[in-house]
Amino acid sequence: MTAKRKPYIPGTYAKRTPSGQQIAEQAVLEWEKKRLSAIKKKAAKARVTNCIAFSRKIGVGALEIADRVSEKLDGMQVIDREILEQIAGSHQLGEKTVDSFDERYPGTMREFFSLLFGEKSFTHGDYLRYLAGAVYALADAEATIFVGRAAHLILPRERVMAIRFIASREFRIKRVAGILEVTEDAAAREIDRVDGEQRDFFRKNFNKKDASPYEFDMVINRDYLQDAKAAAEIVTAAYTEKFGKSGS
């Protein structure tokens, strides 16, 4: 679906301009530099920084809020669905991330998957392996705000502040229609398509039908908190209270 010949990428908003491929490649490159530096220093213990994970339905404005939170938390890096998709969907980037992580922390990825999926830890395809590898590698490099792709289910629960953003169908339709500059009927069809893809993703990879509110530190309803700045302030305050501003 296009608007003025520009493709709609779920999980994005008007401010974002660099391509997901460019950002994904840069993210992997930066982590690789840090990995090599750590090897020189003989660092051998994997760690996960205290991160934020946003879970949302498309159209609630989570990415805009993430960027505002990043500004308040000294430029905390924001990794959205598009970036994770680029890594998880690319054999070259995916293998490079997982192999580099395994080289730095031998056996750690196997342990992560065993904790996530138990006896079924190695029945999943490359996509989920690359996705988990990307999430852990990025979280290992620095404190990160993840938007989408179930990062809150992949990271250790004690190391993530999980936020769920919800909104009525009407709110989401109006917002997506505004971004795409299309009719509300066209926006509704696009939302239904992406919602279906999201349900399939959770069912196939995590055996879940929907996100339970009990998985999250906080649930924010955009129908009643429409100001993105105010939502960002709440998330920032909660993160600071839980982990400290530095995330330590």
Decide if 240 is inside a domain: yes
- Name the CA radius of gyration of the chain, rounded: 18
Q: Quick check: is 248 in a domain?
A: yes
Say yes or no: 133 and 25 in one domain. Answer: yes
Q: Are residues 24 and 101 in the same domain?
A: yes
60 and 35 assigned to the same domain:
no
Last residue of a domain, one of 120, 141, 162: 141
Return the pLDDT at 49: 86
How does DSSP classify residue 57?
A: -
Helix, strand counts (H, E) of the chain: 10, 7
Residues in the chain: 248
1 domain residue, yes or no: no
Tokens matching residue 68:
């505002």
Q: What residue ranges in the chain does DSSP mark as E strands?
A: 2-3, 6-7, 51-56, 77-80, 144-147, 160-166, 218-221
> Which structural domain range is residue 111 located in?
17-46+80-141
**Predicted structure pTM score:** 0.77
Other C-beta atoms lying within 10 Å of the C-beta of residue 172: 24
Neighbours of 33 (CB within 10 A): 11
- For residues 62 and 171, membership in a common domain is answered with yes
Note whether 234 and 198 are same-domain residues.
yes
The enclosing domain of 156 has a CATH number of 3.40.50.300
Q: Which residues of the chain have pLDDT under 70?
A: 1-47, 104-105, 107-109, 112-113, 115-125, 246-248
pLDDT value of residue 118: 61
- If asked whether residues 147 and 228 sit together in one domain, one would say yes
- Say yes or no: 241 and 132 in one domain: no
Residue 241 lies in a domain: yes
Domain limit, last residue, from 102, 125, 141: 141
Residue 44: the pLDDT is 46
